[in-house]
């Protein structure tokens, strides 16, 4: 973990209290974000996102599967995060498992909505091919390459970018398949369907240090947190998921205040991320030609 | 090992330290002094088992279940029935899978990722006893000859371990099988068996496969008693502390017709004389009568409800 | 074994890890299947259409803002330092607390105590056998809900183990585990700032239903869970899924906090009753 001297701790505290953090940022200012798409050619979609020294990759693989019996009109999505030992020595062996599980569950909560599929950031009904018979299963894999705090937000940003980079092959269903049998499908190699990502939320984690909250905390700042709340917000300013990430208890009114601050901060994040994704896509397209 | 010669009230070191400290420092001597007076620290006579209770049907999500308490030892058994295809060699029989689990809650020595060593041993013993005692007629678990039969998953969880785990586990297994209610099933269009719901039961639209055989007939039931043999003393139904202090265990399993189903002596330094084994069997016989009465009472109490 | 091979992991390995998420109501172990599967499914489909209506009756006759009756008892397992049993409707949970005891040797020195939480399900806890294994995150959620309430500085260098076993899963499992665990910790005599009580809420369209059962949970549009220390007015854990406008978050929080305060009173009176039983 991060070992900090009393002086360094005091410096972080004091800086946050005066709205000038040790790297020169203000409390609600993000580190520069950069996004690169199409980094893994085998995947249906992929992206790499960096926020300062935090570096993550997300890849998306689509496979044909069968919809769950209870949700015949929806595809399935699973999210799995892995923390590479290159990011920190503690992730070696089984060390990263707990954090990986926590991040995976956090992202599932923030991106996939309620059990009924309502409020999901990823439009699950667009994944259906033949109702009740064939659907797309999306496997979202995230890999943490370098960790300097704020992993959840970075992963969510990478997933959002990877989803907008995702092309799902067009599928034609051969006619004549009777009601009972599994219909035969033909997957096209050339035509792709662009995935709609307008509803995919961003995640903003507010870390409480002393009496103030900061966004996009570095590892050093995270080590000083008293508690943290991750809020996922979509384009319409609606909260799509929220997790309190341990630490001390918070007054209910503070929680609500943090939600509104996170909503406000998400507007800037969404704008920055959109333009980054757009320019990354443009570069990617140029390369393709 | 020589302090059994007698109880000397005012002698030496022992008189000066308090009882609790003596208990901790010299557990074996502490027990031996008690045994010399023919009483155990929990005020039981040597051959007496602890108070035993059976609660039937505590788990509503299972087809049959029972909670057994022997003193502080608490064991929960539940049976869930699933459908399987019987093997070609024996098309008319179902199957039973027994598992015994000791989750971390049951004892300070069990921790997650470090399971108790005795759990698989007890599971194997239970499975052997249940299958060899003839308690269950596996043909009663058959549904459609060669096509479908019940697979009874018996899962036993130890909730609190305080000695004589096998006895409690076997009693809970017997009680759970007595409580087992087989659901009514019918054959669906795709050849699978499905449960007939309550509303549909009376309608003629569905034809249940198993109108009879909703309960297992338990002709003979096995009951067991674990004893500890220490010198000339035989202690029935030991607590976990007694088990850890003295180490020659004998487990006798008798069925309700007084036939010996299984006799198990785990290692230990002491070799047993046959007369001692006979004494254990006598104790086990008394215990068997006691337990079958307790089981009968709890079953009839359930029927009244 | 050599270093971690996570970067070299093949696709097959990934599939193994992913499998439990996508295995909905698939076959059981050893090629057997539960005959109640399709009945269960039909039942849930029926429920799902019901829940979309504005007005529907809950299967246990409660109104939307009414919690299930709770049965609580401390001292369920004598071998533990403290333990508690909780029964909320058909959800049955037992929690044992061991320690404070010596930390594992591999652990570094720590001047505050450690918490080690572990949640397991029995194989028969769910309608279909062996489906309780998909709740891997519950252990860490339990840890997070409690760490803000326990005075860790009172037991330096040592560990308190909190083990929960779900005997029967009938909905709202995690909140019941958390409430039950705080009772068990109190029973073990470990110092806390306050008892932690937890309540969850499901949202269906415009309706908000408190303390949902598992059939309600399976069809919910959104959910919210709060763990709360009423005397300090502090939220220790807060999770929310689904899409929520802010006004509704306020409303749902009010409902849950109110229910948490009531539950905390019940927890407290349970502790008092058991204490007076002991002295009597």
Chain C CB contacts of B185 under 8 Å are 35
Per-residue confidence (pLDDT) for residue C57, from 0 to 100: 81
Taking CA–CA distances from B193, the nearest residue in chain C reads: C35
Taking CA–CA distances from C142, the nearest residue in chain A reads: A246
Q: How does pLDDT run across B9-68, given as a tens digit for each residue?
A: 555 555 666 888 888 888 888 898 888 998 998 889 999 999 999 999 999 889 999 999
- CB B105 to CB C96 under 8 A? yes
The reply to whether B149 and B12 lie within a common domain is: no
Q: Measure in Å the smallest separation between the Cα of A10 and chain C Cα atoms.
A: 20
Distance of CA A249 to the CA centre of its chain: 26
The reply to whether B8 and B82 lie within a common domain is: no
Cα–Cα distance, B268 to B281 (Å, whole number): 19
Q: Measure in Å the smallest separation between the Cα of B231 and chain C Cα atoms.
A: 28
Whether C110 has its CB under 8 Å from any CB of chain A: the answer is: no
- CB B159 to CB C95 under 8 A? no
Please, which residues bridge with residue C88 across strands? C70, C91
pLDDT above 50 for C19: no
- CB B61 to CB C95 under 8 A? no
Best mutation target among C26, C71, C122 (most B Cβ atoms within 10 Å) is C122
Share of chain C above pLDDT 70, in %: 86
As separate numbers, helices (DSSP H) first and strands (DSSP E) second, chain B gives 7, 12
Q: Are B70 and B164 in contact (CB under 8 A)?
A: yes
- CB B82 to CB C79 under 8 A? no
Question: Average pLDDT of A139-162?
Answer: 92
The reply to whether B166 and B280 lie within a common domain is: yes
Please, which residues bridge with residue B68 across strands? B54, B75
Chain C CB contacts of A263 under 8 Å are 246
Q: How does pLDDT run across C216-226, given as a tens digit for each residue?
A: 888 888 899 99
Residues in chain C, total: 280
> For residue C184, what is the enclosing H or E element?
helix C173-187
State residue C120 phi and psi, 5-degree precision.
-130, 160
A245 or B74, which is more confident: B74
**Sign of the dihedral defined by the CA atoms of residues A186, A189, A191, A194, in that order:** positive
**Lowest-pLDDT range, A106-120, A145-159, B136-150?**
A106-120
Q: Mind giving me the DSSP string for C194-236?
A: S--EEEEEEEETTEEEES--HHHHHT-SEEEEEEEEGGGTEEE
- CA proximity to A214, closest of A201, A233, A227: A227
Residue B235 confidence class, pLDDT cut points 50, 70, 90: very high
Cα–Cα distance, B56 to B76 (Å, whole number): 10
Taking CA–CA distances from C116, the nearest residue in chain B reads: B112
The reply to whether B74 and B26 lie within a common domain is: no
Residue B212 confidence class, pLDDT cut points 50, 70, 90: low
CATH second-level architecture of C57-279?
2-Layer Sandwich (3.30)
Question: Average pLDDT of C259-274?
Answer: 93
Chain A CB contacts of C140 under 8 Å are 98, 101-102
Question: Average pLDDT of B71-96?
Answer: 90
B305 or C156, which is more confident: C156
Q: How does pLDDT run across A153-199, given as a tens digit for each residue?
A: 999 999 999 998 888 888 877 765 555 566 777 777 777 777 778 88
Taking CA–CA distances from C130, the nearest residue in chain B reads: B80
Chain A CB contacts of C16 under 8 Å are none
Chain C CB contacts of B160 under 8 Å are 76-80
The reply to whether B20 and B109 lie within a common domain is: no
Which regions of B48-166 does DSSP assign to beta strands (E)? 52-56, 64-70, 73-84, 95-101, 142-144, 148-160
pLDDT above 80 for C38: no
Q: Measure in Å the smallest separation between the Cα of B67 and chain C Cα atoms.
A: 11
Cα–Cα distance, A183 to C16 (Å, whole number): 27
Chain C CB contacts of A64 under 8 Å are none
The reply to whether B129 and B12 lie within a common domain is: no
Q: How does pLDDT run across B147-206, given as a tens digit for each residue?
A: 888 999 999 999 999 989 999 999 999 999 999 998 888 887 777 777 776 655 555 556
Residues in chain B, total: 305
- CA proximity to C177, closest of C167, C188, C187, C166: C166
Minimal Cβ distance to C120: which of B65, B103, B159: B103
Q: Return the partners of chain C (3 or more C-beta pairs < 8 Å).
A: A, B
- According to DSSP, the β-strands at B185-187 and A212-215 are unpaired
Minimal Cβ distance to C98: which of B82, B108, B188: B108
- CA proximity to A246, closest of C148, B170, B291, C170: C148
The reply to whether B20 and B63 lie within a common domain is: no
Cα–Cα distance, B36 to C127 (Å, whole number): 53
Backbone dihedral region of A231: left (phi > 0), alpha (psi from -120 to 50 degrees) or beta?
beta
Q: Return the partners of chain B (3 or more C-beta pairs < 8 Å).
A: C
Minimal Cβ distance to C168: which of B60, B72, B108: B60
Residue A119 confidence class, pLDDT cut points 50, 70, 90: low
- CB B105 to CB C78 under 8 A? no
Residues 6 or more apart in contact with residue A224 via CB below 8 angstroms: A4, A9, A12, A13, A209
Per-residue confidence (pLDDT) for residue B100, from 0 to 100: 94
Minimal Cβ distance to A114: which of C25, C149, C220: C220
List the alpha helices (DSSP H) in chain A.
Answer: 6-17, 97-112, 151-164, 219-222, 252-288
- CB C143 to CB A246 under 8 A? yes
* The token pair that represents A72 in the structure block: 């015949």
Residue B116 confidence class, pLDDT cut points 50, 70, 90: confident
Cα–Cα distance, C25 to A20 (Å, whole number): 53
Chain C CB contacts of A68 under 8 Å are 24-25
Task: Output the 3-class SS for A216-284.
Answer: CCCHHHHCCCCEEEEEEECCCCCEEEEEEEEECCECHHHHHHHHHHHHHHHHHHHHHHHHHHHHHHHHH
**Tokens 């709205």, located at residue:** A19
Whether C27 has its CB under 8 Å from any CB of chain A: the answer is: no
Cα–Cα distance, C175 to C228 (Å, whole number): 11
Minimal Cβ distance to C238: which of A84, A113, A255: A255
Per-residue confidence (pLDDT) for residue A210, from 0 to 100: 85
The reply to whether B2 and B58 lie within a common domain is: no
In a domain, residue B198? The reply is no
Cα–Cα distance, A103 to A81 (Å, whole number): 7
Chain C CB contacts of A98 under 8 Å are 140
Distance of CA B240 to the CA centre of its chain: 15
Q: How does pLDDT run across C235-259, given as a tens digit for each residue?
A: 999 999 888 888 889 999 999 999 9
Task: Output the 3-class SS for C97-121.
Answer: EEEEEECCCCCCCCCCCEEEEEEEE
Please, which residues bridge with residue A83 across strands? A144
Per-residue confidence (pLDDT) for residue C25, from 0 to 100: 33
B269 or A149, which is more confident: A149
- CA proximity to A126, closest of A160, A78, A81, A171: A171
- CB B103 to CB C83 under 8 A? no
Q: Which domain holds residue B173?
A: 38-180+215-304
**Lowest-pLDDT range, A58-67, A252-261, B110-119?**
B110-119
Cα–Cα distance, C240 to A114 (Å, whole number): 9
**Window 111-150 of C, Cβ < 8 Å to B:** 118, 120, 122-127, 129
- CB C203 to CB A101 under 8 A? no
- CB A118 to CB C147 under 8 A? no
- CB B65 to CB C124 under 8 A? yes
The CATH number for B288's domain is 3.30.230.70
- CB A240 to CB C243 under 8 A? yes
The reply to whether B172 and B33 lie within a common domain is: no
CA distances from A67 to A33, A133, C112 (A): 36, 6, 48
pLDDT above 50 for C11: no
pLDDT above 90 for A127: no
The reply to whether B51 and B151 lie within a common domain is: yes
Domains in chain C: boundaries: 57-279
Cα–Cα distance, B34 to B7 (Å, whole number): 9
The domains of chain A, with CATH numbers, are 7-288 (3.30.230.70)
In a domain, residue B134? The reply is yes
Taking CA–CA distances from B239, the nearest residue in chain C reads: C79
In a domain, residue B175? The reply is yes
In a domain, residue B186? The reply is no
**Window 207-236 of C, Cβ < 8 Å to A:** 217-223, 229, 232-236
Helix (H, G, I), strand (E, B) or coil at B177: helix
The reply to whether B19 and B127 lie within a common domain is: no
Half-sphere exposure of B228 (CA within 13 A, CB side): 21
State residue B233 phi and psi, 5-degree precision.
-95, 145
Backbone dihedral region of B19: left (phi > 0), alpha (psi from -120 to 50 degrees) or beta?
alpha
Torsion of CA B118, B123, B126, B131, to 10 degrees: -150
**Lowest-pLDDT range, B5-9, C106-110, C206-210?**
B5-9
Cα–Cα distance, C23 to C21 (Å, whole number): 6
Mean pLDDT, chain A, rounded, equals: 85
Taking CA–CA distances from B187, the nearest residue in chain C reads: C35
Per-residue confidence (pLDDT) for residue C13, from 0 to 100: 39
Q: How does pLDDT run across C122-180, given as a tens digit for each residue?
A: 999 888 887 766 677 888 889 999 998 999 999 988 999 999 999 999 889 999 999 99
- What count of CB pairs under 8 Å joins B to C? 123
Q: How many domains does chain B have?
A: 2
Q: How does pLDDT run across A102-116, given as a tens digit for each residue?
A: 888 888 888 887 666
The reply to whether B171 and B289 lie within a common domain is: yes
Per-residue confidence (pLDDT) for residue C41, from 0 to 100: 72
Q: How does pLDDT run across C42-94, given as a tens digit for each residue?
A: 777 777 777 777 777 888 888 888 899 999 999 888 889 999 999 999 999 99
The alpha carbons of chain A give a radius of gyration, in whole angstroms, of: 20
Whether C25 has its CB under 8 Å from any CB of chain A: the answer is: yes
CA distances from B68 to A15, A115, B253, C102 (A): 62, 37, 17, 32
Whether C38 has its CB under 8 Å from any CB of chain B: the answer is: yes
pTM: predicted TM-score of the whole model, two decimal places: 0.87
Distance of CA B236 to the CA centre of its chain: 15
In a domain, residue B240? The reply is yes
Distance of CA A39 to the CA centre of its chain: 17
Chain C CB contacts of B157 under 8 Å are 122, 165, 167
- CB B99 to CB C118 under 8 A? no
Best mutation target among C238, C247, C255 (most A Cβ atoms within 10 Å) is C238
Taking CA–CA distances from B196, the nearest residue in chain C reads: C39
Ordered strands of the B249-255 beta sheet: B233-236, B222-230, B249-255, B260-266
Whether C211 has its CB under 8 Å from any CB of chain B: the answer is: no
- What count of CB pairs under 8 Å joins A to C? 151
Asked whether the bond before C100 is cis by omega within 30 degrees of 0, the reply is yes
Q: Are B120 and B167 in contact (CB under 8 A)?
A: no
Best mutation target among B80, B161, B186 (most C Cβ atoms within 10 Å) is B80
Helix (H, G, I), strand (E, B) or coil at C159: strand
- CB B82 to CB C32 under 8 A? yes
């Amino acid at each position: 973990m991060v070992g900090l001297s009393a002086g360094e701790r005091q410096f972080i505290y004091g800086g946050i209290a005066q709205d000038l953090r040790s790297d020169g940022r203000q409390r609600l200012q993000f580190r520069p974000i950069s996004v690169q798409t199409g980094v893994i050619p085998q995947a249906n979609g992929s992206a790499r996102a960096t926020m300062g020294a935090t570096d993550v990759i997300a890849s998306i693989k689509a496979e044909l599967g069968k919809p769950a019996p209870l949700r015949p009109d929806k595809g399935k999505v699973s999210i799995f995060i892995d923390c590479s030992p290159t990011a920190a020595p503690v992730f070696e062996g089984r060390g990263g498992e707990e954090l990986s599980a926590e991040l995976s569950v956090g992202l599932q909560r923030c991106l996939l909505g309620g059990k009924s599929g309502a409020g999901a950031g990823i439009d699950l009904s667009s994944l259906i091919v033949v109702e009740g018979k064939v659907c797309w299963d999306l496997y979202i894999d995230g890999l943490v390459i370098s960790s300097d705090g704020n992993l959840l937000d970075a992963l969510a940003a990478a997933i959002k970018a990877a989803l907008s980079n995702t092309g799902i092959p067009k599928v034609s269903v051969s006619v004549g398949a009777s009601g009972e049998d599994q219909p035969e499908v033909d997957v096209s190699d050339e035509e792709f369907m662009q995935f709609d990502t307008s509803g995919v939320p961003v995640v903003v984690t507010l870390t409480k240090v002393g009496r103030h909250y900061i966004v996009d905390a570095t590892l050093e700042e995270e080590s000083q947190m008293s508690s943290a709340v991750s809020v996922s917000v979509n384009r319409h300013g609606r909260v799509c998921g929220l997790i309190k990430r341990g630490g001390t208890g918070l007054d209910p009114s503070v929680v609500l205040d943090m939600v509104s601050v996170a909503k406000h901060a998400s507007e800037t994040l969404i704008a920055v991320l959109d333009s980054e994704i757009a320019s990354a896509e443009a570069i990617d397209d140029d390369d393709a030609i | 090992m020589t302090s059994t010669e007698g109880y000397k009230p005012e002698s030496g070191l022992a008189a000066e330290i308090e009882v609790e400290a003596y208990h901790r420092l010299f557990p074996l001597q502490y027990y031996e002094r008690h045994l010399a007076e023919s009483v155990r620290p929990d005020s039981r006579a040597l051959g007496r088992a602890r108070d035993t209770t059976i609660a039937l049907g505590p788990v509503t999500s299972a087809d049959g279940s029972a909670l057994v308490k022997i003193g502080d030892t608490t064991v929960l058994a539940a049976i869930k029935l699933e459908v399987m295809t019987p093997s070609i060699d024996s098309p008319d029989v179902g199957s039973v899978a027994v598992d015994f689990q000791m989750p971390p809650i049951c004892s300070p020595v069990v921790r997650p990722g470090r399971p108790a060593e005795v759990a698989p041993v007890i599971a194997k013993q239970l499975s052997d006893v249940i299958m060899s005692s003839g308690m269950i007629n596996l043909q009663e678990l058959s549904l459609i000859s060669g096509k479908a039969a019940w697979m009874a998953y018996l899962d036993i969880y130890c909730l609190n371990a305080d000695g004589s785990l096998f006895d409690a586990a076997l009693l809970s297994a017997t009680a759970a099988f007595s409580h087992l209610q087989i659901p009514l099933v019918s054959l669906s269009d795709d050849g699978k068996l499905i449960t007939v719901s309550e509303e549909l039961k009376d309608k003629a639209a569905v034809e249940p496969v198993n109108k009879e055989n909703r309960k297992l007939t338990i002709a003979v039931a096995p009951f067991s008693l674990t004893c500890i043999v220490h010198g000339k003393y035989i202690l029935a139904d030991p607590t976990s502390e007694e088990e850890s202090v003295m180490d020659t265990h004998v487990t006798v399993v008798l069925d309700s017709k007084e036939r010996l189903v299984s006799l198990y002596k785990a290692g230990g330094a002491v070799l047993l004389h046959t007369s001692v084994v006979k004494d254990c069997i006598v104790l086990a016989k008394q215990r068997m009568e006691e337990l079958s009465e307790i089981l009968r009472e709890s079953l009839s109490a359930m029927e009244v409800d | 074994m050599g270093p971690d091979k996570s970067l070299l992991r093949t696709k097959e390995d990934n599939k193994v890890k992913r499998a439990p998420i996508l295995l909905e109501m698939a076959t059981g172990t050893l090629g057997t299947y539960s005959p109640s599967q399709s009945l269960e499914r039909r039942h849930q489909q029926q429920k799902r259409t019901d829940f979309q209506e504005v007005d529907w009756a809950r299967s246990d006759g409660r109104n939307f803002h009414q919690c299930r009756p709770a049965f609580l008892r401390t001292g369920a397992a004598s071998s533990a330092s403290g333990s508690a049993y909780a029964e909320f409707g058909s959800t049955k949970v037992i929690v044992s607390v061991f320690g404070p005891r010596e930390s594992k040797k591999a652990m570094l020195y720590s001047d505050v105590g450690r918490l080690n939480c572990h949640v397991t399900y029995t194989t028969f806890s769910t309608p279909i056998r062996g489906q309780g294994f998909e709740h891997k995150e519950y252990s860490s959620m339990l840890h997070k809900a409690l760490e803000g309430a326990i005075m860790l500085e009172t037991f330096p260098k040592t560990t308190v183990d909190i083990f929960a076993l779900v005997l029967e899963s009938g909905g709202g499992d995690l909140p019941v585990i958390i409430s039950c665990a705080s009772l068990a910790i109190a029973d073990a005599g470990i110092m806390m700032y306050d008892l932690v009580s937890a309540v969850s809420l499901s949202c269906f369209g415009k309706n908000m239903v408190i303390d949902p059962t598992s059939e309600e949970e399976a069809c919910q549009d959104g959910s919210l869970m709060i763990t709360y220390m009423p005397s300090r007015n502090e939220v220790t854990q807060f999770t929310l899924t689904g899409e929520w406008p802010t006004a509704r978050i306020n409303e749902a929080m009010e409902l849950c906090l109110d229910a948490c305060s009531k539950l905390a009173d019940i927890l407290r009176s349970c502790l008092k009753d058991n204490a007076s039983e002991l002295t009597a």
